[in-house]
A and B are shown apart, each in its own frame.
Chain A
Amino acid sequence: MIDIWSGLSQAFWLLVTLDADLVEITLRSLRVTMTALVIACAIALPLGAFLAVRRFRARRVTIAVLNALMGLPPVVVGLIVYVFFSRSGPFGVLGLLFTPTAMIIAQVIIITPLIASIAHQALRELWSDYHDLLISMNTTQRQRIQALLWDGRRALLTAALAGFGRAIGEVGAIMVVGGNIDHHTRVLTTAIALETGKGDFALALGLGFVLIFMAIAVNLAIHYISRTEQEGRW
Chain B
Amino acid sequence: MKRIIISAIASLAMTGAALSDDMKLAVTTSFHNSGLADILLPQIKEDTGIEVQLLVVGTGQAIKLGEAGDVDAILVHSLKAEEKFLAGGFGTHRREIMYNDFVFIGPSTDEAKLADATSAADALRRIEAASAPFVSRGDDSGTHKKERSLWAAVDVEPAGDWYNAVGAGMGAALNTAAGMNAYIMSDRASWLNFGNKADLALVYAGDPALFNQYAFLPVNPQKHPHVKTDLAAELEAWLVSDVAKDLINGYKINGETLFVFNAE
Residues of chain A at the chain B interface (Cβ within 8 Å): 31, 35, 38-39, 42, 86-89, 92, 94-101, 104, 179-182, 184, 194, 196-202
Contacts of A97 in B (CB 8 A): 70
The answer to whether A200 touches B195, judged by C-beta atoms less than 8 angstroms apart, is: yes
Tell yes or no: B50 within 8 A of A by CB. no
Contacts of A181 in B (CB 8 A): 24, 53-55
Contacts of B24 in A (CB 8 A): 98, 181
Tell yes or no: B170 within 8 A of A by CB. yes
Residues of chain B at the chain A interface (Cβ within 8 Å): 1, 4-5, 7-8, 11-12, 15-16, 18, 24, 29, 33, 53-57, 67-70, 169-172, 174-175, 178, 193-197, 224, 226
Q: Chain A CB within 10 Å — which of B4, B8, B171, B174 has the most?
A: B8
Contacts of A194 in B (CB 8 A): 56
The answer to whether A98 touches B53, judged by C-beta atoms less than 8 angstroms apart, is: yes
Report the minimal beta-carbon distance from B88 to chain A, rounded to whole angstroms: 13
A38: contacting residue among B4, B16, B29, CB under 8 A: B4
Given A35-B12, A42-B5, A95-B226: A197 and B68 within 8 A (CB)? no
The answer to whether A199 touches B195, judged by C-beta atoms less than 8 angstroms apart, is: yes
B55: contacting residue among A104, A179, A201, CB under 8 A: A179
Q: Which chain B residue shows the least CB distance to A94?
A: B16
Complex Cα spacing A75 to B193, Å: 28
Contacts of B29 in A (CB 8 A): 197
The answer to whether A87 touches B16, judged by C-beta atoms less than 8 angstroms apart, is: no
Q: Which chain A residue shows the least CB distance to B22?
A: A184
Complex Cα spacing A192 to B210, Å: 31
Report the minimal beta-carbon distance from B191 to chain A, rounded to whole angstroms: 10
B175: contacting residue among A89, A101, A104, A196, CB under 8 A: A196
Contacts of B195 in A (CB 8 A): 198-202
Contacts of A89 in B (CB 8 A): 68
Report the minimal beta-carbon distance from B68 to chain A, rounded to whole angstroms: 4
Given contacts A35-B15, A200-B195, 9 further A-B contacts (CB under 8 A): A35-B8, A39-B12, A42-B1, A95-B16, A97-B70, A100-B15, A181-B24, A197-B172, A197-B175
Report the minimal beta-carbon distance from B30 to chain A, rounded to whole angstroms: 11
Q: Which chain A residue shows the least CB distance to B172?
A: A197
Q: Which 6 A-B pairs have the closest CB atoms?
A: A197-B171, A199-B196, A87-B69, A199-B195, A100-B15, A88-B68
The answer to whether B33 touches A198, judged by C-beta atoms less than 8 angstroms apart, is: yes
The answer to whether A98 touches B70, judged by C-beta atoms less than 8 angstroms apart, is: yes
A86: contacting residue among B1, B8, B70, B171, CB under 8 A: B70
Contacts of A202 in B (CB 8 A): 195
Report the minimal beta-carbon distance from B27 to chain A, rounded to whole angstroms: 11
Contacts of A38 in B (CB 8 A): 4, 7-8
Contacts of B57 in A (CB 8 A): 179
Contacts of B175 in A (CB 8 A): 196-197, 199
Q: Which chain A residue shows the least CB distance to B33?
A: A198
The answer to whether A180 touches B56, judged by C-beta atoms less than 8 angstroms apart, is: yes
Complex Cα spacing A86 to B71, Å: 10
Contacts of A96 in B (CB 8 A): 16
Complex Cα spacing A234 to B176, Å: 48
Contacts of B7 in A (CB 8 A): 38
